[in-house]
């Protein structure tokens, strides 16, 4: 047997692939291998979905924080304007 024949698959009788004297069925996967691949695909899909949900939640939290911050700023400005108006009112009309 030459060195090349040990590394080149040869199709023998009954459609079996031989590699250096060892016989294997081409493209044959066991039920366990198929099950493992299905579980692996499901876990990967779940991880992608969880990542997408986490991104959505993170963006939503950022938007809510921004909206609450803007609201707090607005309340502060309203309070400040109200105090200034009250001070001006007190200076203009001391009889009240």
Picking from 39, 41, 21, 37, the residue whose alpha carbon sits closest to that of residue 29 is 37
Q: Residue 10 — φ and ψ, nearest 5°?
A: -120, 135
Q: What is the pTM of this model?
A: 0.52
Half-sphere exposure of 35 (CA within 13 A, CB side): 3
Residue 93 confidence class, pLDDT cut points 50, 70, 90: low
Q: Model confidence over 1-55: pLDDT tens digits?
A: 455 445 545 555 555 555 555 555 557 789 999 999 999 999 999 999 999 999 9
Output phi, psi for 56, to 5 deg.
-60, -45
E strand residue ranges, 17-73? 17-19, 22-24
Residue owning tokens 């991104």: 55
Q: For position 90, what pLDDT does the model report?
A: 83
């Amino acid at each position: 047997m030459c060195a090349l024949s040990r590394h080149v698959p040869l199709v023998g009788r009954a459609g079996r692939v031989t590699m250096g004297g060892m016989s294997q069925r081409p493209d044959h996967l066991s039920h366990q291998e198929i099950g493992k691949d299905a579980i692996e695909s499901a876990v990967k899909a779940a991880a992608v979905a969880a990542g997408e949900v986490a991104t959505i939640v993170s963006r939503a939290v950022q938007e809510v924080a921004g909206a609450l911050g803007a609201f707090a700023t607005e309340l502060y400005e309203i309070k400040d304007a109200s105090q200034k108006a009250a001070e001006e009112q007190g200076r203009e009309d001391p009889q009240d």
